[in-house]
Structure 1
Amino acid sequence: MLGRTYDSQVCSMARALELVGERWSLLIVRDALFAGVTRFGDFQHNLGIATNVLTSRLDAFVALGIMERREVAGQPRQADYVLTDKGRDLGPAMVALTHWGDRWAAPDEPPIVYLHRGCGGTVHVETVCETHGVIPPAEVGVRPGPGMPAEYLVNRRPHRG
């Protein structure tokens, strides 16, 4: 069973899960990214999350550079929590996770549809080969990348994705 950190995993997915893999994290980012929520009270109301948990997650997001805390002018005890570029870059992963949920976890039709704000067209995330274009996920494999430590490759079987 995996613990709270994935120190033994040399994998960007594991590292990402350390940052945003907690139960409430992606829901907070979802509300910020797609619903424009920025206020503590609005996150708390929309999600029904305990205030201590929300405080912890927002503080962590600020410390990690996923959000920034902006004081509201004229309201010294009020702040907005705004996604940074790092936080907004979670968008495609969230769309992909939602589409997976629509297929495998939604009881009926998709409860929401992602749209291009510019034209209203439906948005999808696909696996794309730089040579062949869109390919099925089952055709995606892996190989060690430039960030893979050499000592990790010794006595390891290649992962077949």
Structure 2
Amino acid sequence: MKRTRLENTPCPTARALDLIGDWWTLLIVRDAMRGMTRFSEFQRSLGAAKNILSTRLKTLVAEGILKVEPAADGSAYQDYVLTEKGLALQPILVALGQWGSEYLFEEGEACTRLIDTQSRQPLRQIELQAQDGRILQSRDITAIIPEV
């Protein structure tokens, strides 16, 4: 089946999924947020085939989500480091993780938790807010779709 490209759609969700919608890509970004920088670290963590990992890393660099830098330890290796664009994906990964821990784990089942480094407390559930600070529910939100 040929993959449909969504890069020209007026839907920002579709465009985002076109770039970061496959699970390897989001897991690479997750691991980079956890401090991984080396190809071998990503490969060990994900168990991804080298060709798949290499392709995803090249795409993330080409799209400005990761950048390649000389290794921080001065070795001949290179590090993959999140850019501002890459770091901006953190709320998406947090929301996805919060949804997963709410709906995909049994009561009492071990689950990775995100905590505030300073207070050591779990993060609050991500909420959607109006410009005036009101908490919004699904029924409170609508999309304005441009005519093309």
TM-score over 0.5 for the alignment? Answer: yes
Q: Say if 1:127 and 1:137, in contact at 8 Å, map to a contact too.
A: no
In structure 2, give the amino acid aligned to 1:37.
Answer: M
Deviation (angstroms), 1:119: 2.0
**Number of aligned positions between the proteins:** 145
Pairing 1:122–2:122 present: yes
Measured against aligned partners, the alpha-carbon deviations of 1:89-114 in whole angstroms (never above 9, x if no partner) come to 00001111111112222234461222
Deviation (angstroms), 1:7: 4.8
Distance 1:41 1:7, change over 3 A: closer
In structure 1, give the amino acid aligned to 2:80.
Answer: Y
Residue in 2 aligned with 1:102?
101
For residues 70-81 of structure 1, what are the structure 2 equivalents within 5 Å? 70-72=69-71, 74-76=74-76, 78-81=77-80
Measured against aligned partners, the alpha-carbon deviations of 1:29-63 in whole angstroms (never above 9, x if no partner) come to 01111x21111101100111111111111111111
Residue in 2 aligned with 1:139?
140
CA distance in 1, matches of 2:102, 2:132: 28
What root-mean-square deviation, in Å, do the aligned CA atoms of Structure 1 and Structure 2 show? 2.2
Q: Say if 1:102 and 1:110, in contact at 8 Å, map to a contact too.
A: no
Runs of 4+ with deviation above 6 angstroms: none
Distance 1:138 1:96, change over 3 A: farther
For residues 3-152 of structure 1, what are the structure 2 equivalents within 5 Å? 3-7=3-7, 9-33=9-33, 35-72=34-71, 74-76=74-76, 78-108=77-107, 109=109, 111-123=111-123, 124-144=125-145, 148=146, 150=147, 152=148
Deviation (angstroms), 1:8: 6.2
Secondary structure of the 2:19 match is: helix
Q: Which of structures 1 and 2 has the bigger CA Rg?
A: 1
**Aligned residues with identical type, % of pairs:** 34
CA distance in 2, matches of 1:39, 1:141: 42
Please report the TM-score for the alignment, with normalisation by the length of structure 1: 0.80
Unaligned runs of 5+ in 2: none
Q: Say if 2:68 and 2:79, in contact at 8 Å, map to a contact too.
A: yes
Please report the TM-score for the alignment, with normalisation by the length of structure 2: 0.86
Deviation (angstroms), 1:132: 4.9
Q: Say if 2:7 and 2:18, in contact at 8 Å, map to a contact too.
A: no
